[in-house]
Amino acid sequence: MGWDGARQGPPVLSLKAGEGEAARRDEFLATLRQAARDPGAFYLEGHGIDPSVIDQVEALSRRFFALPEDEKRAIDMVNSPHFHGYTRVGAELTRGAPDWREQLDIGSERPLLPQGPDTPAWARLQGPNQWPAALPDLRAAVLRLQAELTAVALALLERIALALGERADFFADLYEGGPDQLLKIIRYPGRAAGEGDQGVGPHKDSGLLTFVLQRDRGGLQIEREGHWVDVPPRPGTFAVNIGELLELATNGYLKATVHRVVSPPADSDRLSIAFFLGARLGSKVPLLDLPPDLAALATGPERDPDNPLFLDVGENRLKGRLRSHPDVARRHYADLLGPDGPS
């Protein structure tokens, strides 16, 4: 039976249910397969991350956003060819429209990749993060949470592979050697009626899985059958979305989740933490050999001329970054830009 978002929120799954006796594990995998396909979003509990780890990052996030503007702008993303750093309100675009949020993007903490005349452009994505001088504790706290979320996301990815009839390590070539990681701390300022409500506009995420940690204020919505469905905060859980790489790997049996965030009302704000598990830059997406009953439901990846999907992971990742951050694109990727933007 399909999911009915008009009567209930996204389903709740416990990662612990994927362990233990075979009958319980099989029931979990069947539920996971259904939730990942329809609605393509679900809550995940039983993940094992200590709430104090999340609390610490949230508290430090509040302190970061309270810093003077010049201290935040000192680590502006436009300084970074890796798209790491601070983005002020209105500077990121979704489908060409400005998002009403400020944020700090923290990627995988890795050294620069060697560059040469034949190096693909996506290799510029890897490199160090920028950290605020006024908050020295932020680095260790964020990287710890990023590492713990990565472990949970990889465990979930193994269970998704099992749920689709493959061995647990089917996706290992995409993450061994270091998956692409991105953790965003985000603040959505309130907006008065009539000012617009785009916290972040409708989009799909380019990676494998997205986890959203939201505490006490909603705003996240997923699209289903032409309608927007609320994904309100649920204590102790992450909201999970399917990314474009899983849409490609399953030939469209799973669809990347179209979602958006609606701005909170005036005189309030919304703080969230979003974690994106991507694949290793330089890898290519493998195609699952789905069981016949599932393969019959795979209609192919969505063909959107405004958002082409690429099996080359680095190319798929760079595509979204260039469009979302035109200032970074102009400074660090001018050689890729045509007269109307990214080529």
304: pLDDT confidence band, cut at 50, 70 and 90? confident
Q: If you average pLDDT over every residue of the chain, what do you get? A: 93
Q: First vs last Cα of the chain: how many Å apart?
A: 43
Q: For residue 23, how many C-alpha atoms fall within 13 Å in the half-sphere facing its CB? A: 0
User: Mean of the pLDDT values across residues 13-41?
Assistant: 91
Tens of pLDDT along 306-334? Answer: 888 899 999 999 999 999 999 999 999 99
Across the chain, which distance is largest between two alpha carbons, in Å? 59
Q: For residue 7, how many C-alpha atoms fall within 13 Å in the half-sphere facing its CB? A: 3
* Structure tokens that stand for 48 in this block: 């094992």
DSSP assignments along 91-136, one per residue: -SEETTEE---EEEEEE---PPPP--TT--GGGGG-------TT-T
Q: Which of 257, 15, 283, 49 is nearest to 159 (CA)?
A: 15
**Which domains are delineated in the chain?**
12-342 (2.60.120.330)
For the whole model, what pTM was predicted?
Answer: 0.95
**% of the chain residues with pLDDT over 90:** 86
